[in-house]
Amino acid sequence: MSDNPIVFIDSGVGGLPYLEMARNYLPEENYTYVADTGNFPYGEKDATALQIIILELITDIVNRISPKLIVVACNTASVVALPLLRDRFGIPFVGVVPAIKPAAEFAAVNRNGGIGLLATRKTIEDPYTDTLIEDYASSVRVDKYAGINLVDFVEHNFITSTDEEKMEVISESAEYFSRLEIDSLVLGCTHFIYLEEYFRRHLGSSVAVIDSRKGVSRQIKKIIKTEGLVSDNKKRDIFYVTCGKGEQLNYQRFAEKFSLEWGGVL
């Protein structure tokens, strides 16, 4: 069991930077990434439909891959489905939620201004996000923005786009937060991490750009060590998609970018 892989799931490539960070913390582990491309994107789906999709995906992964831990590397999916997954399956799950807590801690120590939250429409609207803000950032102004077009851009165009095109695609949301004079920007969708550098350029060094990669990696490491699941037999890290139609070259390029073996369709 200890040599079984840690599996990361998302509707597409958004969770790959989380896998990359986890590999820095636990390089001896085996990793499998599953991009649920047949159901991309998650962020615009009805909550009940998304729960069914994710339950079916995880059931298939558990039966075919036997992971020792699963990371739901998607804010929307984590908010909607994590309690169900933990009730249904007898393995640990780690989720990804908007990094409101560290942003509020940063604001308390370093600044007096507000927090910007850039996320999908579903994450912005979900009551869980409001609870996070109430619990950790009730004394700080939090301004929300749904970056609807950014997920699709990263998924389909990031690899081949120019720096100018990347700056252009973030300009609307970056301008929105610039006008509000925020002190920190929370990237509340895993896909948005690919555009971190471009938000930093636009917003300037006075604005902290925050995500939850380090916190998620620390939690994975804690569980692996606490549960006695540390691997002693490094084998391979592999990338799968769930749909074989179109864009295979695009996903193979992402696999290469993150040093993952291309596995094709799961």
Equal fold, 6-96+213-265 vs 100-210: yes
- The span from the CA of 156 to the CA of 36, in Å, is 14
Q: Report the pLDDT value the prediction gives residue 86, as an integer from 0 to 100.
A: 96
What would the CATH number be for the domain defined by 100-210?
3.40.50.1860
pLDDT at residue 250 tops 70: yes
The three-state secondary structure class of 73 is: coil
Give domain limits for the chain.
6-96+213-265, 100-210
**pLDDT single digits (tens) 75-102:** 989 988 999 999 999 999 999 999 999 9
User: Which residue in 74, 107, 118, 142 is the catalytic one?
Assistant: 74
The yes-or-no answer on residue 74 being catalytic is yes
CATH class of segment(s) 6-96+213-265: alpha beta
**35-76 tens-digit pLDDT:** 999 999 998 888 899 999 999 999 999 999 999 999 999 998
pTM for the whole thing?
Answer: 0.95
pLDDT above 70 for 111: no
| 58 alpha-carbon distance from chain centroid | 17
Q: Are 177 and 198 contacting, i.e. CB atoms less than 8 angstroms apart?
A: no
My answer on whether omega of the bond before 41 falls inside 30° of 0, hence cis, is: yes
Q: DSSP label at 201?
A: H
Tokens representing residue 11 in the block: 């509707």
Which of 53, 85, 186, 189 is the catalytic position? 189
Residue 18's nearest CA partner among 36, 40, 37, 33 is 33
pLDDT of 230 reads 95
CA distance 10 to 14: 6
Other CB atoms within 10 A of residue 230 CB: 14
Q: Is 243 a catalytic residue?
A: no
Q: Which two tokens stand for residue 253?
A: 């390029």
